A and B are shown apart, each in its own frame.
Chain A
């Protein structure tokens, strides 16, 4: 697949520093978030108890009794650490840099209320209205949003490319039929459809199932726009000499589409990718903000934004954190998109106005 032409484009992408670094940062963030449990978690990284080592993070829960506590529910490692330190015990444990998970209510005072960022309590971005750590919620919320956006983009592209190519290449009645179908389908307002469909999904489904349903519904109403571009591009490429030549040699339809036409329309595809990612992130954030997205207590940017706007006066750090994250995320994706467009532009010296 990597022909010299593509390699040249990738090289040019690397030369556009702003986009390239944005890409590195975003990829780094994504990679980091995949191992987020090591960074942001209420479970200890390592516990040394009575001579043996425990690594609780990716394992089943340890009841408190495992470490000499009196309770049978999940060990509170922060308290355990504090106790051992106080007793001067030989046992020790190491907590992650952010020792909170995204669900627990941890108030440093006596009541649940938003607390401002504090290094001492290790709530680096403060806490939300029920004293949950904002950094933890942001972190896991962003991870869900990013993974969601990637899954969304892949799904939309697979469907969009398949249908669009088929329309452009096969043409005729098939093209005509699908065009009409898409015209009708794409006139259904997407956000409202998501809201309507998602509000009838019973809550007995587990949270991952609900996320998959939400994804499916969003993909169902979003693949259409991709087909337009693919159809036009395929239509155009199909009439080019090289495509005709391939046909004359006797190449099969699938070979022509996948080996000859697709690589040539790649630039169109790649250019739109960042916008698809952005639309997925904003859509899921908007849905959460409206209260139709992921079920509580799933952490999400939209939910934090909503809390933040309701407590604008009393806890500005909530909205700042959520809004800041969203801005950074979308700016990075936009920079990448800009760089990709420029790198894949055959006219190297034009200026994007």
Chain B
């Protein structure tokens, strides 16, 4: 066992910060901050890699392009954002931590800053329309789906450019596969995904190529259309020292914002600047968005302080999802709201919901018992949490795959809080006597007590409420509140009993089951030849099967679901799998939120419909704009006492 690494992995953020500081100061003593790296050029290596994998990297010519393809370009879709939007101004926002790297893959890269480098600042081939779900063109001008050959053909926009002015070509997509398949990036998930989920890329010319995938899923186009190219010219130095060499370098992007080196104040703030020559600035679907000229992102570690900064007008917007903020910290009677300086908005959106709930590790001795898991389901009082803590704003989540339309189970509902049913289930598992403290014990004197861990500091009160209620059913929760990274590490190592967490879900057509419920992600060898549980199996770590759920029947269904290209069959399978998962009772569905709420100063302007149907927060899709004149006026009004009508709006057009 590698002991130091375990200690390091469990370090709290504070301690890590401390170590980081001491390391930095040691480096600082060494002299120059700017490390120099030996010159390196991988052009030959890349070409050799293509040549050695002729099955994957195919070089063809434009004459070979099939002529009977049905090209699509999403031109029937409506514009995004509002034509009223005006470019200009500076938006002030905060980030909770200074990024640990400016790389977008590799160690430490998956942080809260990455959207500014990748997710919201690069353009994919095509993107889901936020109202219609269909694809509108991004880097691609048009594309064609060939279901029979499991291939998607793409024609790039000839005007597409990286932020440093270099054109985006098919070569950047070939290189993308080299990049993500290479071990230099120290990111096994990407290595696996880009090797197993794609089978071939065929280059026809500079702006035409095709990518093939192993299975023709109903949404097979998303696999390819949501790809982001990797700038080959920038990563020509990619090699063994990738992690250090590219640690603090900004890769060119295809999106609207760039970061200049002198706009980075390490540890304090980063400013992103709108690229005035952005290639897509006048294109339909992009022209009314990404309006602020500059976005200043200041590091403020505590959310309470962010809110204070927002109330002073130093931050433009603040998310008011939590009841505490919506009702108490910024109530409708607040003077700034009453004077019309700050607007409050509640927006009902439609998208798959994050799976908030308790993930039960069914590989742990007592939790292996289905009756105990059922008892835990009945002993967890989410209804009280929703009613009293969230003040009835949220709703109970019914299954782990809510919000996928017809793919969600139509009738199943989560087990309610029911002490009698919980006690009955625990009794079936041998826990029928209460000990001196009211917690159930079995005949061996074992107490019915489990650790309930969470990585959500902001929801730290929630487990304490569940604990008090569970006590009534003779169940004890020992609470462990960790910081986000440590909490995630704990579940990834499958060391948890019960963990309160959620998977963020992206806008997808149907839920995924393989990641969370397939036995491949639970144990090394889950079953013996006759499908019975293998007694010597070992828990597999670093997967998203947090329940260590391994059911042979589920595996069969998941495999069929993954291989299926028939929507009706997939729906039927999804319902059966959801029902099986419900019976297994290894997940206690928590709550879901059907809207988001925000408060913003009146100089932040939004379209009349506020935002689009699938938006996840007020900032989604960058449809807002900043009005500097209004800002000046408002700031002056705060001194003079001038006021405007109160603006508290509920947008329920998508309810």
Verify A130–B14 contact, CB threshold 8 A.
Answer: no
In the complex, 18 of the A-B residue pairs with CB atoms within 8 angstroms, ordered by the A residue number, are A61-B438, A72-B419, A73-B471, A73-B472, A74-B438, A74-B471, A110-B387, A111-B388, A111-B389, A129-B461, A130-B461, A196-B15, A199-B486, A200-B11, A203-B453, A295-B478, A311-B304, A314-B329
0 or 1 for each of B435-452: is its CB under 8 Å from A? (1 = yes)? 011100000000000010
Residue B493 is within 8 A (CB to CB) of chain A in the complex:
no
Task: Give which listed residue, B12, B18, B457, B465, contacts A130 with CB less than 8 A.
Answer: B465
Task: Give which listed residue, B389, B423, B451, contacts A72 with CB less than 8 A.
Answer: B423
| Residue of A71, A195, A297 with highest tally of chain B CB at under 10 A | A297
Cα A63 to Cα B435 with chains together (Å): 11
0 or 1 for each of A174-209: is its CB under 8 Å from B? (1 = yes)? 000000000000000000100110011001101000
With A72-B423, A107-B388, A129-B324 already in contact, the answer to whether A295 and B479 are too (CB < 8 A) is yes
Within 8 A of B (CB), among A90-115: 103-105, 107, 110-114
With A73-B472, A105-B465 already in contact, the answer to whether A204 and B10 are too (CB < 8 A) is no
Cα A261 to Cα B460 with chains together (Å): 53
Counting chain B residues whose Cβ lies within 8 A of the other chain, the interface size class is: 35 or more
User: Closest residue to A309 on the B side, CB-wise?
Assistant: B304
Cα A277 to Cα B389 with chains together (Å): 38
- Given A63-B434, A72-B423, output 20 extra A-B contacts at Cβ < 8 Å: A71-B419, A71-B472, A73-B419, A73-B438, A105-B388, A105-B465, A110-B387, A111-B323, A111-B391, A112-B389, A196-B18, A199-B12, A203-B480, A292-B14, A295-B478, A295-B480, A296-B463, A310-B304, A311-B324, A311-B328
Task: Give which listed residue, B302, B423, B436, contacts A61 with CB less than 8 A.
Answer: B436
Verify A204–B451 contact, CB threshold 8 A.
Answer: yes
Residue A24 is within 8 A (CB to CB) of chain B in the complex:
no
Cα A61 to Cα B304 with chains together (Å): 39
With A195-B12, A309-B304 already in contact, the answer to whether A130 and B389 are too (CB < 8 A) is yes
Within 8 A of A (CB), among B461-490: 461, 463-465, 467-468, 471-474, 478-481, 483, 486
Residue A291 is within 8 A (CB to CB) of chain B in the complex:
yes
Cα A310 to Cα B304 with chains together (Å): 5
With A129-B461, A200-B10, A295-B479 already in contact, the answer to whether A73 and B388 are too (CB < 8 A) is no
User: Closest residue to B15 on the A side, CB-wise?
Assistant: A196
Residue A270 is within 8 A (CB to CB) of chain B in the complex:
no
0 or 1 for each of B122-139: is its CB under 8 Å from A? (1 = yes)? 000000000000000000
* CB proximity of A27 to chain B, nearest CB, Å: 31
A interface size (C-beta, 8 A): 39
| Chain B, interface SS category | helix
Q: For A200, list chain B residues within 8 Å (CB).
A: 6-7, 10-11
Which residues of B line the A interface, CB within 8 A? 6-7, 10-12, 14-15, 18, 302, 304, 323-324, 327-329, 387-389, 391, 419, 423, 434, 436-438, 451, 453, 457, 460-461, 463-465, 467-468, 471-474, 478-481, 483, 486
Q: For B467, list chain A residues within 8 Å (CB).
A: 103, 297
* CB proximity of B430 to chain A, nearest CB, Å: 17
Verify B478–A314 contact, CB threshold 8 A.
Answer: no
Residue A241 is within 8 A (CB to CB) of chain B in the complex:
no
Residue A353 is within 8 A (CB to CB) of chain B in the complex:
no
0 or 1 for each of A109-140: is its CB under 8 Å from B? (1 = yes)? 01111100000000000000111000000000
Cα A195 to Cα B486 with chains together (Å): 14
* CB proximity of B559 to chain A, nearest CB, Å: 36
Cα A114 to Cα B389 with chains together (Å): 11
Q: For B391, list chain A residues within 8 Å (CB).
A: 111
Task: Give which listed residue, B18, B389, B473, contacts A73 with CB less than 8 A.
Answer: B473
* CB proximity of A134 to chain B, nearest CB, Å: 14
| Chain A, interface SS category | loop
Residue A313 is within 8 A (CB to CB) of chain B in the complex:
yes
* CB proximity of A328 to chain B, nearest CB, Å: 26
Q: For B460, list chain A residues within 8 Å (CB).
A: 296
Cα A9 to Cα B435 with chains together (Å): 52
User: Closest residue to B472 on the A side, CB-wise?
Assistant: A73
Cα A60 to Cα B438 with chains together (Å): 8
Cα A311 to Cα B7 with chains together (Å): 34
Residue A290 is within 8 A (CB to CB) of chain B in the complex:
yes
* CB proximity of B365 to chain A, nearest CB, Å: 13
